[in-house]
Structure 1
């Protein structure tokens, strides 16, 4: 069987989800959610399989985003609609409720789907809407982590990690059960979708997944106690925001004591709405703090360029 793959999975990036919610709050778009009834087949395929979109799925009026192939937009007269696909979950955003109803009916004639109504719970993200904006959090997911790890009654911490904390891959005693540490860090990584305040700490601890040690586990427990202080904390996208992009970046020169590599950190706002952020180790060793800063600025410029193309699709 001939197999053709792309570099990335054909699912929407979470940054696009946050960007869509921010735009929906600003433009007062209606948000709707659909779920496709699908069945996963586990049979062996012996021959070649050729796939193409079904007739009528993509019309001349529909535009597939070049920034992300999971985003589709459609403009006709004064109505606008955006369709975002994540595996079998679909989010619709439009300024016309009738357009959403017509598309839902059209899709239902081609394959079975569930109409879940207004967007409230998507990929573990809890969405709440009011007259002043849209809030996004993962409170249920955070409480599940605290319950499973036994930290639901732990003493809260004021911050996730000491500002001058440095961790090494060689300090401390190796954990007898590294699987529990890896499972915990994996769940914390998903929690950073709505918690940018956890990004640096979780990124730092995720570098020791291969051979975690006692200090790494103690630091992870510190993050859990910080989550305990405010499990419902998340993001807020106000309706009074603008569509002006602004970004901030910084670097930590020689932030890693093992590799001597620097760290890049940035955050991007759409008006007053935080939609993108990152904390990542740089790929090469910077010979000066100025070089580390330039690499950080280059990273945020790449993100801004991509977001500009994405906003043009909207």
Structure 2
């Protein structure tokens, strides 16, 4: 993948985008920014911008789509820790305001302290797949939609991850969790078919899926 460094050491393969991240920090003048520990401000909720906030951002002459796209590339390749932040910032591509721009800068501050992180593969005796699904409930305050989150591991190494706003409003936590679980199931169907066709896992029959909502579990089990 373009811009991804592949390193091999001690039986592991590591994927990282440290060079790309450094270039991104330099582009936006954030190389000397104070590193922070989270991609978004804890317990914060980004809302649609007011007319004044839109005007203030437009005066900067910055392409918001390009800024979000630059970190989406990191999120989809080697930084699953950015997945939720990118999902939140992407909600405002059509009408960004100054606070959404500040949210992007917050992500860059986080990257300034985590640019050497990446994905490690290999070094495990266990060979198999596992998956995890979760959802909040009506956390997107503008429309009360919920946020889906899931991931899947092969050989205890992360291979699939996703965070996105659900397209419809859920009337219960169980419904929101079940939507997330359905999305994960579709992803796993594709992933297992690809693995089998590639000869990676010829005898895979079951994948343990972990979910913490009992109502969702009962519905899934029939």
Question: Post-superposition shift, 1:150?
Answer: 0.2
Residue of structure 1 aligned with 2:116, choices 204, 207, 232: 232
Residue of structure 1 aligned with 2:32, choices 131, 149, 153: 153
TM-score by length of 1: 0.59
The reply to whether residue 292 of structure 1 matches residue 171 of structure 2 is no
Q: Whose helix proportion is higher, 1 or 2? A: 2
TM-score by length of 2: 0.83
Question: 2:91 aligns to what?
Answer: 207
Q: Is the 8 A contact 1:178 1:211 kept in 2?
A: no
The reply to whether residue 141 of structure 1 matches residue 25 of structure 2 is no
Equivalence map 1:80-91=2 (5 Å): none
Q: Is the 8 A contact 1:133 1:238 kept in 2?
A: yes
Cα–Cα, structure 1 residues 225 and 246, in superposed 2: closer, same or farther, change >3 Å?
Answer: same
Structure 2 segments unaligned to the other structure (5+ residues): 199-222
The reply to whether residue 220 of structure 1 matches residue 99 of structure 2 is no
The reply to whether residue 127 of structure 1 matches residue 6 of structure 2 is yes
Cα–Cα, structure 1 residues 178 and 168, in superposed 2: closer, same or farther, change >3 Å?
Answer: farther
Equivalence map 1:270-309=2 (5 Å): 270-309=154-193
Rounded to whole Å, the distance in 2 between the matches of 1:241 and 1:206 is 39
Question: Post-superposition shift, 1:178?
Answer: 6.0
Rounded to whole Å, the distance in 2 between the matches of 1:213 and 1:131 is 47
Rounded to whole Å, the distance in 1 between the matches of 2:125 and 2:69 is 33
Question: Post-superposition shift, 1:303?
Answer: 1.0
Equivalence map 1:1-314=2 (5 Å): 122-171=1-50, 173-174=53-54, 175-176=57-58, 177=60, 179-192=62-75, 193-314=77-198
Question: Post-superposition shift, 1:276?
Answer: 0.5
Rounded to whole Å, the distance in 1 between the matches of 2:11 and 2:36 is 30
Cα–Cα, structure 1 residues 178 and 262, in superposed 2: closer, same or farther, change >3 Å?
Answer: farther
Rounded to whole Å, the distance in 1 between the matches of 2:96 and 2:164 is 19
Rounded to whole Å, the distance in 1 between the matches of 2:161 and 2:37 is 22
Encode CA deviations 1:228-256: one digit per residue, 9 max, x unaligned: 00212110002325331101111011121
Question: 2:214 aligns to what?
Answer: none
Q: How many residues align?
A: 193
Question: Post-superposition shift, 1:302?
Answer: 0.9
175-184 vs 297-306, which moves further: 175-184
